[in-house]
Structure 1
Amino acid sequence: MPAHSTSRHVIGEHRNAMQSALLVWFEGVRTARNMPWRKPFDGHATPAGRAQRAYEVWVSEIMLQQTQVATVIPYFNRWMESFPTVKDLAASDIDTVNQLWKGLGYYSRAARLLAGAKKVVEELGGRLPDNARDMQASMPGIGRYTAGAICSIAYNEQVPVLDGNVTRLLSRILALHAPPKAKATTEILWDGAEALVKDCDRAGELNQSLIELGSTVCKPRDPACGGCPVKAWCQAYRIAHNKPEADLADIEDGCTLCAPVPLEHAARAPPVTAYPMKTERKKQREELDMVHVVEWRRESERWFLLVRRPDAGLLAGLYEFPTQPNISVDEPAASAPHLLPLLAGLLIRVPDGLSAKAPKDAAGLRLAKTYSAGDVKHVFSHIIKTYRVVWAVLEGDEEGEGPPALKLEVQDPRENGGQGGKAKGKKGKVGPVKDASRKDGEETPPSAMWVRLADVEHANVGTGVMKIWKLVRALWDE
């Protein structure tokens, strides 16, 4: 790349013209994608009305993280029907929230919304903060971008936004070809976003125009430069079309951050898509889990065992079939060696058919059969999971009361090599049980539960578990 001045990476004297062009363009596309959360700013709204608007924008921004607009729209509408205000959300629970979120993915987002709503009601007077600094400092899971988006759109605060779309847009406007995660790079981009929104009396609409332009016009591939309202000030567009720029007047003003831009074959100038600088994607790690779809049956009754995942981490708070994670890739799909320790941590009594040490009064509970169902692959953003699935059928009962009794306190099978915890001597129930860590009046979902055949697909489970369920269902649906 030829030497260039650092002034290339600054929103300068054309700021006002760019603001005007962006706002005029946004007026024409505001309703194009029918986003229910996108509404004109109401300068006459009461403080309560603006706080309600902040809640709506907050929900939409969290849902839109790593998710397409078209996918989010029906989820947003259902969410607002169920939780029209932040107080309605705060009064809910994680199982209800996860059920509404089911299928949207990245479930930790739902948990953060619930935790944030409870904090707003319990500590912040029932209203989200009206400025980005306080919002970022006091709200869980809200960073600089989300705080800026909410406060500019709901409160018209002149604060910048910088998501992936705006990063790409500004990298091209400023022809910045520098390591994307470098501190100096992000500082230049934040400065550019801040310069554009500065002194703008329609800050929320200006920021929405940047996000929309990056999403629909300044796309990663095949950008529609002909329809871009700011192409006249886009340095990447100028370079791609071999338009001259001012010579570097002072060597001390030269940019030392940008890396050389690779040219395409026989190209005279780098294309607009050369910006921002590309980075190598981190390779996804691969993991193999042994999953047991444990069924208990008696005559026409069929129940299936589900275990609740921890409240933090991957698929937080969702249910799954008993799982032994990270097994060896050479592990055969044999049930008993893995099923025994899992059931020992879940059931008060272990089936006779699995252990010679099981008590004689086990009321006939036994392992009737196991069947290797095959493998299921499920891809997360950072993990490629293979689930080795075994269908295991238990028969017999305890005193005729139904499915085998569960321990009230279930140790996560991921701990201690899947050996489970000690029995508390009480029977677990299908339904919430008291947890001493909760406040009075609060309930925690059960750590494990039996679910009827017809209800499995309606439980709070992730997409990967549904793939497993369909695989096993095929064994008896054929």
Structure 2
Amino acid sequence: MLKWPTLQDLATASLEEVNQLWSGLGYYSRGRRLQEGAQKVVEELGGHMPRTAETLQQLLPGVGRYTAAAIASIAFGQATGVVDGNVLRVLCRVRAIGADPSNTFVSHHLWSLAQQLVDPAQPGDFSQAAMELGATVCTPQHPLCSHCPVQSLCQAHQRVEWEQLSASPCLPGSPDVEECALNIGQCQLCLPPTKPWDPTLGVANFPRKASRRPPREEYSATCVLEQPKAVGGALILLVQRPNSGLLAGLWEFPSVALEASEQHQHKALLQELQSWAGPLPATHLQHLGELVHTFSHIKLTYQVYGLALEGQTPVTTVPPGARWLTREEFHSAAVSTATKKVLRMYEDYLRGTCKGSKRSQVSTQSSRKKPSRGQQVLDSFFQPVSTDTSNSTVQ
């Protein structure tokens, strides 16, 4: 907002600039969608934002139901309900809805509830208050029920009290469930039979989300190719990812995909490097270790390599889609957090091997005197994680 304070400013920016500013935030498609939306408003809608949830969702790329409703209620005062993760949790507890909220029927019911509850006079304030209630009081674990302004209306809280009374040995009989206004035993909104009431969870029994599918595992070999003595300072090679898919359009170190069984793939990686930088000495390709980075739906394991071009003819030209950058340029470029981790691993390796030392000597040298905090981090970095693996792992 500081760099592009108006839609017109954002619409005229380049995607490269947007990706640079978004670097490190994750969900990189969001930055691209913001710019696409600005361009749509400026170029096709005469500079005027759609003002209703229906037209926002219909006309702007990347705007879904929640985003459209939030903008319409908060910015334009439309009396439309908003359901984000926080509001969803509040509604499920207030109405004791224990079913999986991602279920179509349950989701439709929650949006209908939000629409019934929204204050027509102050819809934006109501929407933000509901989100804030879920974010600060009605939290996923350890909710602050005693501080909740809607505790007297909360059927999840009533269920907790009823369960506690039912478990009391001094109680002659359990209260009538209907008197508690509980949704126990009703259709598709109640706690599923496979996940009955858990007394240790309290109000956190609601909602019961379906078990998340673990991220799929992928493997890659990547290499930091450096010209340490280039004119004007050391340079590292980056290549641009495709314009679609994971990390679309961002810059990274040359990489090749691996199968799970392929721990090292020198030949394919070297060929990839040579396709960008020309002939390279295979003997200088140094395996540095293993690095794991988890995206929202992918667990990606990198085999990290380094190759320093010392004494060779400097590489000055590269094909389109690649470029040489200084360290300073790298840190302001459109790169992902995973790519920054790879460079950090390479630089840690260089620090551990400076003045002719080797990785295996690090722990021996550090034992001669009490190591600094930074040295302790380096020592632990290069130690095997267990006795049956030879590669360090960075999580």
- TM class, shorter-chain normalised? 0.7 to 0.9
Residue matched to 2:343: 469
Residue matched to 1:403: 315
Give the 3-state SS of the residue equivalent to 1:88 in structure 2. helix
Residue matched to 1:419: none
Give the 3-state SS of the residue equivalent to 2:306 in structure 1. strand
Alignment of 1:315-330 (within 5 A): 315-330=247-262
Following superposition, the deviation at residue 455 of structure 1 comes to 2.7
Following superposition, the deviation at residue 336 of structure 1 comes to 3.5
Residue matched to 1:293: 224
The answer to whether the 8 Å contact 1:303/1:403 transfers is no
The answer to whether the 8 Å contact 2:53/2:65 transfers is yes
Following superposition, the deviation at residue 153 of structure 1 comes to 0.5
Give the 3-state SS of the residue equivalent to 2:292 in structure 1. strand
Residue 263 (str. 1) matches residue 183 (str. 2): no
5+ residue gaps, structure 2, are 163-174, 353-395
Residue 216 (str. 1) matches residue 136 (str. 2): yes
The answer to whether the 8 Å contact 2:256/2:268 transfers is no
Give the 3-state SS of the residue equivalent to 1:277 in structure 2. coil
Residue 179 (str. 1) matches residue 100 (str. 2): yes
Give the 3-state SS of the residue equivalent to 1:140 in structure 2. coil
Following superposition, the deviation at residue 453 of structure 1 comes to 4.1
Residue matched to 1:228: 148
The answer to whether the 8 Å contact 1:367/1:393 transfers is no
Identity of aligned residues (%): 38
Give the 3-state SS of the residue equivalent to 1:246 in structure 2. helix
Following superposition, the deviation at residue 467 of structure 1 comes to 1.0
Q: Which amino acid aligns with 2:203?
A: V
Following superposition, the deviation at residue 404 of structure 1 comes to 4.0
Following superposition, the deviation at residue 231 of structure 1 comes to 1.4
Following superposition, the deviation at residue 104 of structure 1 comes to 1.4
Could you list the per-position Cα deviations for residues 80-111 of structure 1 after superposition, in whole angstroms to 9, with x for gaps in the alignment? Answer: 11011111111111111122112211111101
Q: Which amino acid aligns with 1:113?
A: L
Give the 3-state SS of the residue equivalent to 1:387 in structure 2. strand
Residue 389 (str. 1) matches residue 304 (str. 2): yes
Worse overlay, 93-102 or 295-304: 295-304
Aligned partner of 1:377 among 292, 296, 299: 292
Worse overlay, 101-110 or 133-142: 101-110
Residue matched to 1:241: 161
Could you list the per-position Cα deviations for residues 98-130 of structure 1 after superposition, in whole angstroms to 9, with x for gaps in the alignment? Answer: 221122111111011011111110011112101
Aligned partner of 1:304 among 236, 240, 255: 236
Alignment of 1:83-162 (within 5 A): 83-162=4-83
In 2: Cα distance, 1:474 partner to 1:256 partner: 58
Aligned partner of 2:329 among 450, 455, 462: 455
Q: Which amino acid aligns with 2:202?
A: P
Following superposition, the deviation at residue 244 of structure 1 comes to 5.1
In 1: Cα distance, 2:245 partner to 2:337 partner: 16
Following superposition, the deviation at residue 271 of structure 1 comes to 2.1
The answer to whether the 8 Å contact 2:224/2:254 transfers is yes
Q: Which amino acid aligns with 1:375?
A: E
Following superposition, the deviation at residue 378 of structure 1 comes to 1.2
Alignment of 1:353-372 (within 5 A): 369-372=284-287
In structure 2, the CA distance between the partners of 1:248 and 1:102, relative to structure 1 (3 Å rule), is closer
Following superposition, the deviation at residue 458 of structure 1 comes to 2.9
Normalised by the length of structure 1, the TM-score is 0.65
Following superposition, the deviation at residue 297 of structure 1 comes to 4.9
Moved over 4 A (4+): 297-301
In structure 2, the CA distance between the partners of 1:370 and 1:135, relative to structure 1 (3 Å rule), is same
Q: Which amino acid aligns with 1:390?
A: Y
Residue matched to 2:210: 279
Could you list the per-position Cα deviations for residues 306-363 of structure 1 after superposition, in whole angstroms to 9, with x for gaps in the alignment? Answer: 011122222222100000023343332x53442114422x34xx31x5xxxxxxxxxx
In structure 2, the CA distance between the partners of 1:214 and 1:107, relative to structure 1 (3 Å rule), is same
Residue matched to 2:386: none
In 1: Cα distance, 2:154 partner to 2:285 partner: 64
Give the 3-state SS of the residue equivalent to 2:236 in structure 1. strand
Alignment of 1:421-440 (within 5 A): none
Aligned partner of 1:206 among 121, 126, 144: 126
Could you list the per-position Cα deviations for residues 252-304 of structure 1 after superposition, in whole angstroms to 9, with x for gaps in the alignment? Answer: xx832122462336x7xx72110002321111222221001112355665321
Give the 3-state SS of the residue equivalent to 1:241 in structure 2. helix
Following superposition, the deviation at residue 248 of structure 1 comes to 11
